């Protein structure tokens, strides 16, 4: 039995413990990265975190500056056989087609409705932009959020037959939690639409909406039936990709990151910007090398193309994590059906 | 003397206490708002916070949704006799003039150098934009940050003879801390330049850089002498004012706030957007009524103009806090010279 003062201290400790407990589970102290094999990338991550969190060390980074940025598509979740947001857009074309009879004869919508993915691809970037504008604009931001949530709740990955939000990488979930436990703020910095990610990032990654940076379309504040709403306009605001990533990091986060994680050419400048910080920086590419458990691709692919990054990683001191070699598991265990 | 297990618990409690201690002091539990008189605004704030934080109450708001947004100029710090950022721009014109001989004959720079403030005002919005572009662009974001920090460290308010970062409102500092202690995330949403605020908001307001939303100019990622930098371009990206505030709130924060604090016409839509949230919303205008301790202005002023907000506050249920009536103190105590 504890003494009276001691009980009070215990209660305080428990209250404080709950006050700091994040939504996502805490990492295991003995091995916070159990889904990583004991190969170079895991050692590099552990060594770096030990260095920058050791007070008095020349590499020490104060907590306020501990910013870690993560690409989403191909870095945190699966981006093949196509970007998840593209799968969403294709499904939206089918769902909205009855209201758009003109789509039956207009590209790229016609190809989508005909199930002709080559035709969609042939429409190029312009076609993809039209696809996004046709399916992602013209509603309020609240309506769009509901649509995304509903879709994510029912859509399945065509190969893995589970929700896209379960086709996330277990080693990266552990890494997010591990960095947060070491005082890092974790941000997503993705070429994907910010409003497509925010509906699930808190639940799945433990990253709250304001720490999600992505591509944006313009919105406008209007009164609809006397109620103020934000309408999504069919106009791109900013593409958060390649050299746009450092621009967005500065605009949204306001300081250079200390660690950056990506997997494609779109992440090159983000890693470059991060690893030329005044304090020590860390960059890592997830390399898709595992056709059996996930996919194998790098230099020749439509989604998640990576070449210069692979070539330059060694001389820039960036780590390349091979999914096949360095990851013990790829996806989290399947959830029990309710 | 504490028992062995009890000491361990005490150590844990202390460690946890430090782990959650913010940079800014914690509010006093007995009266977290001591610089507010016991008048309507203080009661309204206390009642609202009690309602939305009471689990099981119909007005309960989960912690993840507890977002409070604050305008900066005139709401958190003094904006008279002119916006602080304008005082900064005028000082920059003087500092940069030797490198710009053409400014001696070009408006609005000529008026600034002649000390002719009416001439500056006569140049209108176009002139002000030229002033900002001439002094805020053409350098890297890191260089600009150093310039802002150096200026804030030495510049003084012309009437109060203390640094601008001490011409902040003590009642609002207490309010920021009080809301954070009640699970709110506090954000700044200001018409001012985001890069002019971020260098001091963590230290002065306890608001980290990524929770500061403001007007932006475009930047570009370039390699300078082989080192990647972000250059500030002489081009406005977005003005975070009036109907632009809800747009920025959505873009940067990703959800509707629950509480909004402003003082001018530029904040009207922010309060409107916040108080038509699905859950209960709270809006408050700081009303500058105290010529003796600060300034008295509302309908007729260049800086911090407020009219429609005053007229509509009663029917919309917004609180108007009179600086003279409702604030016990205005500024924090002067710091002892080191």
- A 253-282 near B (Cβ less than 8 A): 253-255, 269, 272-273, 276
pLDDT at A251: 98
In A203-315, the DSSP E strands lie at: 212-224, 227-238, 259-262, 282-289, 296-297
Average of pLDDT values for B33-50?
98
pLDDT at A25 over 80: no
pLDDT at A19 over 80: no
Q: A97 pLDDT band (50/70/90 cuts)?
A: very high
- The answer to whether residue A13 neighbours chain B at the CB level (below 8 Å) is yes
pLDDT at B10: 41
Min distance A114 CA to chain B CA atoms (Å): 35
pLDDT at A23: 41
pLDDT at A236: 92
What CA–CA distance (Å, rounded) separates A208 from A219?
Answer: 21
Distance of CA A150 to the CA centre of its chain: 19
Residue range A239-262, pLDDT digits in tens: 999 999 999 999 999 999 999 999
pLDDT at B121: 83
Average of pLDDT values for B274-296?
93
What CA–CA distance (Å, rounded) separates B99 from A141?
Answer: 47
- Residue A266 token pair: 């779109």
Question: Hey, of A16, A69, A256, which one would you mutate to test binding to chain B, going by the most B CBs within 10 A of its CB?
Answer: A16
Min distance B102 CA to chain A CA atoms (Å): 32
pLDDT at A173 over 80: yes
What CA–CA distance (Å, rounded) separates A264 from A306?
Answer: 5
Of A3, A230, A246, the CB nearest to B6: A3
pLDDT > 70 in chain A, percent: 92
pLDDT at B25: 64
Are A185 and B210 an interchain contact pair (Cβ–Cβ within 8 Å)?
A: yes
Q: B337 pLDDT band (50/70/90 cuts)?
A: low
- The answer to whether residue B63 neighbours chain A at the CB level (below 8 Å) is no
Residue range B186-245, pLDDT digits in tens: 999 999 999 999 999 999 999 999 999 999 999 999 999 889 999 999 999 999 999 999
Residues in chain B closer than 8 A to A6 (CB atoms):
2-3, 5-6, 9-10
Question: Hey, of A251, A271, A279, A283, which one would you mutate to test binding to chain B, going by the most B CBs within 10 A of its CB?
Answer: A251
Q: B24 pLDDT band (50/70/90 cuts)?
A: low
Residue pair A320/A284 in contact by the 8 Å Cβ criterion: yes
Q: A7 pLDDT band (50/70/90 cuts)?
A: very low
Are A228 and B272 an interchain contact pair (Cβ–Cβ within 8 Å)?
A: yes
Total CB pairs under 8 A between chain A and B: 117
If you measure CA to CA, which chain B residue comes closest to A229?
B273
**Other beta carbons less than 10 A from residue B115's beta carbon:** 10
Find residue B282's DSSP bridge partners.
Answer: B259
Min distance A309 CA to chain B CA atoms (Å): 16
Residue range B48-88, pLDDT digits in tens: 999 999 999 999 999 999 999 999 999 999 999 999 999 99
Please report how many Cα atoms fall inside a 13 Å half-sphere around the Cα of residue B35, on the Cβ side: 20
If you measure CA to CA, which chain B residue comes closest to A231?
B247
Q: CA B302, B304, B305 angle in degrees (round to 5)?
A: 70
Q: How far is CA B105 from CA B67, B102, B116, B288, in A?
A: 48, 6, 13, 38
- Average model confidence (pLDDT) for chain B? 91
Please, which residues have CB within 8 angstroms of residue A199's CB and are 6 or more apart in sequence?
A: A145, A148, A149, A152
The count of residues in chain B is 338
Residue pair B266/B71 in contact by the 8 Å Cβ criterion: yes
Find residue B236's DSSP bridge partners.
Answer: B217
């Amino acid at each position: 039995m504890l003494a009276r003062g001691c009980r009070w201290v215990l209660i305080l400790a428990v209250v404080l413990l709950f006050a700091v407990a994040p939504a996502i589970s805490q990492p295991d102290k003995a091995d916070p990265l159990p889904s990583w094999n004991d190969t170079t990338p895991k050692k590099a991550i552990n060594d770096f975190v030990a260095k920058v969190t050791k007070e008095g060390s020349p590499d020490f980074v104060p907590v306020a500056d501990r910013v870690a940025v993560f690409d989403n598509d191909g870095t945190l979740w699966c981006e093949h056989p196509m970007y998840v947001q593209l799968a969403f857009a294709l499904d939206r074309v089918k769902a909205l087609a009855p209201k758009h009879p003109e789509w039956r004869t207009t590209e790229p919508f016609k190809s989508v409705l005909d199930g002709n993915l080559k035709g969609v691809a042939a429409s190029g970037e312009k076609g993809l932009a039209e696809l996004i504008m046709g399916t992602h604009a013209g509603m309020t931001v609240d309506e769009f959020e509901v649509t995304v949530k509903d879709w994510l709740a029912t859509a399945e990955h065509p190969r893995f037959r589970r929700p896209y939000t379960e086709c996330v990488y277990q080693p990266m979930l552990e890494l997010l939690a591990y960095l947060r436990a070491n005082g890092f703020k974790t941000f997503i910095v993705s070429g994907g639409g910010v409003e497509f990610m925010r509906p699930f990032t808190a639940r799945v990654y433990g990253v709250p909406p304001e720490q999600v940076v992505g591509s944006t379309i313009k919105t406008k504040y209007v009164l609809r039936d006397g109620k103020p709403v934000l309408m999504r306009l069919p106009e791109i605001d900013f593409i958060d990709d390649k050299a746009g990533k450092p621009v967005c990091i500065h605009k949204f986060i306001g300081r250079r990151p200390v660690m950056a994680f990506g997997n494609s050419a779109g992440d090159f400048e983000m890693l470059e910007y991060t690893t030329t910080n005044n304090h020590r920086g860390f960059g890592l590419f997830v390399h898709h090398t595992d056709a059996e458990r996930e996919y194998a691709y790098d230099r020749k692919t439509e989604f998640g193309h990576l070449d210069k990054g692979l070539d330059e990683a060694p001389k820039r001191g960036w780590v390349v994590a091979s999914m096949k070699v360095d990851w013990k598991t790829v996806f989290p265990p399947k959830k029990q059906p309710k």
